[in-house]
Chains A and B, each alone.
Chain A
Amino acid sequence: MTVNKEALLNVEDLTMHFPIYKGLFRKQVGAVHAVDGVSFNVYRGETLGLVGESGCGKSTTGRAILQLYHPTRGTVNFEGRNLVEMKKEELRHMRRKMQMIFQDPYASLNPRMSVGEIIGEPLSVHKIASGKEVQERVARLLELVRLNPSFASRYPHEFSGGQRQRIGIARAVALQPSFIVCDEPISALDVSIQSQVVNLLQELQDQFNLTYLFIAHDLSMVRHISDRVAVMYLGVVMELADSNALYDNPLHPYTQALLSAVPIPDPVLESKRKRMLLEGDVPSPVNPPSGCRFRTRCPIAQPICAEQRPEFRELKPGHFVACHFAERFM
């Protein structure tokens, strides 16, 4: 995989707060701080993995990038143009280049549309093809994702989870986008099917020079597929680095705890491994802790962690960490 360092996407201070309304007059009483000041680049041709536990804001980040939500604050530059300030029509045009693959292959395909209609719809919406040409393109797309082209006339309920995810992938690549947000594309699939879909995603990336934002909670799979990985916790990116650097030498205590919690399918290794168990649960994003978000569960927290939000700094070339004490792990 060749990664030249041209930033296809630049996210700056992206923030997404969902207001909470209460009472007779629907007064705003607070907000869910789903994403709180996230900044990163995605380089052309690379896969950036975005990991974290449920509720950490990783999916919201993906959706806010594609403007499926209107961000509370921040900018999203795609090929040098800020998506946040774009008008609807302009944005629609940009969506040709940015697509999404969803988590649940059972909910993301319209049950009343045939597979051909599902995959062909973006082609006609963007007036790229019409009539017979759509059918031909659909057939080619189905072949591309290793499905029988004759399936175009069938309906989603006739397919298994893995096959449906292939249909979703065919739909996402129909417009030849340059950037795809993959939002937990394999979490709903069986183990033996997961690797089929991941291999397909990698082949398509090589073939079309695609750029992926790969959102997942399976850290082993993210390591496998990503060039770089960002770790999120309670709406904040805690650490971002090349995937080998992050997994071999994590500099943030949360990343360390997360990695040590992942079981390895090897009984000999498992019996020797030391676990770093985190106490308690993730705090509520409605009222997140002051300063560092992780301080309430952090084994090395100090008073300063409650007062100051740690800066997201580049500690080693390309290795960013948001922790006051990350130097101890160098």
Chain B
Amino acid sequence: MPDYLLDVQGLETTFKTPEGTIHAVNGVSFGLKEGETLGVVGESGCGKSVTMLSILGLVPNPPGEIVAGSASFAGQDLLQMSSSEIRHVRGSQISMIFQDPMTSLNPVLTIGRQLEEPLMLHLNMTKKQAEDRAAELLTMVGIPNARERLKDYPHQYSGGMRQRVMIAMALSCSPQILIADEPTTALDVTIQAQIVDLVKRLRQELGMAIVWITHDLGVVAGLAQRMLVMYGGYVVEEAEVGELYANPQHPYTLGLLNSIPRLDQKEGKKLSSIEGLPPVLYEKPTACPFAPRCKWAIDRCWVENPLLEDIGNGHRVACWVDTKTGRARS
């Protein structure tokens, strides 16, 4: 068992809605090593964001509820912490950036004020120290003329610059873990490339571990070391990044990789698509949640949910069928 910085075991999260209880996360386990970048891939509703929000105590209760599981970080279980304890971890040891840089900043406060707040709160800096550090941070994320721009309001920044500010804010207290939830989805490709480049540079300089949540298999390919693929509230496949793209095993991973056209591929070939829709789970599944869309499904898939199993090289997959041969796994 490797030494994990963050070790999540058997996490289950549900949401109560008027239509019934939605089982968003159904037993997710993963580890994050020090300084490692972990890519988490899946479509909307697969539970990738809720998993991370649960760990940070950001799931509103009610309607959300963490039903089971543990998340140990630095010898403590994050899921058992009181709200004031977790608030202390959040922002200073683990921080998070979100998809939409337009809505995650407060429009009526200056960028400077928003950057200085966590510094004064978590690191007990004086106003003057915080201001200096804030200017330093803005420079670090590549915003020119930083000291002047601290006085600006969010609407005076472009989308890419706002995401840079979010990153500066997340890194302000030198966290050990940065959780990035689709941080480039709202941005144009050229700006996305700038942000990815920035994160790579900062990762090298600061050495933090990163969890990068995305639905874009392209972005994480050049960024992550290890990948989790999620579907229906479960991790269905886990592998080193090279292994996952070269040797995908789970039918869902295969389907995803085959359904996206590649820039370096000539047009013409028909895209293979995954028929059907992702599930909304009103009950915790007892069978494989992907079975209704799976072309490999065998009888067993409809009655029993496969668990993640190691198939060598740290490659784990949750499927009853060996997609290489099309037969049941022995």
Which A positions have Cβ atoms within 8 angstroms of B?
Answer: 53-54, 160, 162, 190-196, 198-199, 202, 217, 219-221, 223-227, 243-244, 247, 257-271, 273, 275, 277-278, 281
Most B C-beta atoms less than 10 A away, residue of A193, A263, A270: A263
> What are 10 A-B contacts with C-beta separation under 8 Å?
A190-B278, A259-B263, A263-B196, A263-B222, A265-B217, A265-B257, A268-B246, A275-B193, A278-B193, A281-B160
Residue in B188, B246, B262 whose CB lies within 8 Å of A220? B262
Please tell me if the beta carbons of A265 and B215 are within 8 angstroms of each other in the complex: no
Please tell me if the beta carbons of B218 and A262 are within 8 angstroms of each other in the complex: yes
A243 to B261, CA, bound (A): 14
Please tell me if the beta carbons of A265 and B221 are within 8 angstroms of each other in the complex: yes
Interface positions, chain B 112-151, Cβ under 8 Å from A, are none
Residue in B189, B190, B222 whose CB lies within 8 Å of A271? B222
CB within 8 Å for A261 and B259 given contacts A192-B273, A269-B264, A281-B160: no
Please tell me if the beta carbons of A244 and B259 are within 8 angstroms of each other in the complex: no
Most B C-beta atoms less than 10 A away, residue of A192, A194, A219, A271: A192
Closest to B44 in A: A190
Please tell me if the beta carbons of A192 and B256 are within 8 angstroms of each other in the complex: yes
Q: Contacts of A261 on B, CB cut-off 8 Å? A: 189-190, 192-193
Please tell me if the beta carbons of B259 and A266 are within 8 angstroms of each other in the complex: no
Please tell me if the beta carbons of B261 and A53 are within 8 angstroms of each other in the complex: no
Most A C-beta atoms less than 10 A away, residue of B217, B260, B269: B260
State whether the Cβ of B197 lies closer than 8 Å to any Cβ in chain A.
Answer: yes
A269 to B241, CA, bound (A): 12
Please tell me if the beta carbons of B260 and A162 are within 8 angstroms of each other in the complex: no
Closest to A202 in B: B270
Q: Contacts of B196 on A, CB cut-off 8 Å? A: 263
Q: Contacts of B158 on A, CB cut-off 8 Å? A: 281
Please tell me if the beta carbons of B44 and A264 are within 8 angstroms of each other in the complex: no
Please tell me if the beta carbons of A281 and B161 are within 8 angstroms of each other in the complex: yes
Interface positions, chain B 241-268, Cβ under 8 Å from A, are 241-242, 245-246, 255-257, 259-267
Please tell me if the beta carbons of A196 and B189 are within 8 angstroms of each other in the complex: no
Interface of A is mostly: helix
Q: Contacts of B275 on A, CB cut-off 8 Å? A: 196
State whether the Cβ of B272 lies closer than 8 Å to any Cβ in chain A.
Answer: yes
Closest to B160 in A: A281
Please tell me if the beta carbons of A262 and B271 are within 8 angstroms of each other in the complex: no
A64 to chain B, nearest CB (A): 22
CB within 8 Å for A191 and B43 given contacts A258-B190, A262-B218, A265-B257: yes
Please tell me if the beta carbons of A244 and B267 are within 8 angstroms of each other in the complex: yes
Most B C-beta atoms less than 10 A away, residue of A196, A217, A219: A196
Please tell me if the beta carbons of A277 and B193 are within 8 angstroms of each other in the complex: yes
Interface positions, chain B 204-232, Cβ under 8 Å from A, are 215-219, 221-222
Q: Contacts of A199 on B, CB cut-off 8 Å? A: 270-271, 273
Please tell me if the beta carbons of A267 and B221 are within 8 angstroms of each other in the complex: yes
Residue in B218, B246, B272 whose CB lies within 8 Å of A264? B218
CB within 8 Å for A217 and B265 given contacts A192-B43, A195-B260, A267-B221: no
Please tell me if the beta carbons of A223 and B189 are within 8 angstroms of each other in the complex: no
Residue in B216, B221, B259, B270 whose CB lies within 8 Å of A270? B221
Most A C-beta atoms less than 10 A away, residue of B158, B192, B262: B262
Q: Contacts of B197 on A, CB cut-off 8 Å? A: 275, 277
Q: Contacts of A198 on B, CB cut-off 8 Å? A: 271
CB within 8 Å for A265 and B218 given contacts A220-B261, A258-B189: yes
Please tell me if the beta carbons of B267 and A223 are within 8 angstroms of each other in the complex: yes
CB within 8 Å for A53 and B189 given contacts A224-B265, A267-B241, A275-B197: yes
A117 to B263, CA, bound (A): 39
Please tell me if the beta carbons of B216 and A263 are within 8 angstroms of each other in the complex: yes
Please tell me if the beta carbons of B188 and A54 are within 8 angstroms of each other in the complex: yes
A193 to B260, CA, bound (A): 10
